[in-house]
Amino acid sequence: MLRIGITGGIGSGKSMVCRLFQVLGAPVYDSDARAKWLMGHDATLRDELTAAFGPTTFDSAGQLDRVYLARVAFADPTQLARLNALVHPAVGRDFALWSAAQAAAGCPYLLKEAALLYESGAYRQLDQVITVFAPLAVRQARVLRRDPHRTPDDILAIIGKQMSEEEKVQRAQHVLHNDDAHLLIPQVVALHAAFSKQIAP
């Protein structure tokens, strides 16, 4: 079974690409969604977060205080690195279990969606990587439509913290052009057909 990563910067259209693959029958692991779930439900990770960021990381009802954690972690690069060092391995463990279940079910390939696929080291668990590419202006326009509370400066700040699109394109085995100039569906269908025929080494 092939394990395929999907990455790309904010506004590139990773989620849309994943939905297309799902329509074609491919299972998709959403790293961001699972990370949020694990932070609230994985006992080991909860203990690690409490030890690292204090007892107020979880409220009296045992719920993760996301506002508090964001205020502490995102204001300090050292604290953010500390948070990532706890969350990324937990996601890696969770993905390994999920991946094994998909293999047991006989899936020819699966997809792992992650914005920080390279930065987190998650690409090491994968056989191939797809980068979803779109020019900066297109990405900004998409995010502003999707998140009207953001400003252009907000988007640039997020982009500035991510690996450059050029490097992601260079490192990936496949590139999907989601730039409003190329048809996206035929690109996805072609990759689906190729992945369905391959066997992981």
Q: Where are the domains of the chain?
A: 1-27+107-201, 32-90
Cα–Cα distance, 35 to 199 (Å, whole number): 29
Check whether 12 is labelled as a binding-site residue. Answer: yes
Is 60 exceeded by the pLDDT of residue 200? no
Q: Which amino acid is at 148?
A: P
With cut-offs at 50, 70 and 90, classify the pLDDT of residue 159: confident
Q: State whether CATH 3.40.50.2300 applies to domain 1-27+107-201.
A: no
pLDDT number for residue 199: 63
Q: In percent, how much of the chain has pLDDT > 90?
A: 76
pLDDT number for residue 73: 87
Query: Is 197 exposed, middle or buried (CB count within 10 Å of its CB: 0-12, 13-18, 19+)?
Result: exposed
Is 70 exceeded by the pLDDT of residue 55? yes
Claim: this prediction has a pTM higher than 0.75: yes
Is 90 exceeded by the pLDDT of residue 41? yes
- The answer to whether residues 48 and 87 touch, using CB atoms and an 8 Å cutoff, is no
Q: What is the DSSP letter of 10?
A: T
Q: What would the mean pLDDT of 8-36 be, rounded to a whole number?
A: 95
Is 90 exceeded by the pLDDT of residue 131? yes
Segment 72-130, tens digit of pLDDT = 988 888 999 999 999 999 999 999 999 999 999 999 999 999 988 998 899 999 999 99
Who's near 162: CB < 8 A, 6+ residues apart?
9, 10, 115, 116, 119
Q: How far does CA 115 lie from the centroid of its chain?
A: 4
Check whether 8 is labelled as a binding-site residue. Answer: no
Check whether 16 is labelled as a binding-site residue. Answer: yes
Check whether 25 is labelled as a binding-site residue. Answer: no
Check whether 13 is labelled as a binding-site residue. Answer: yes
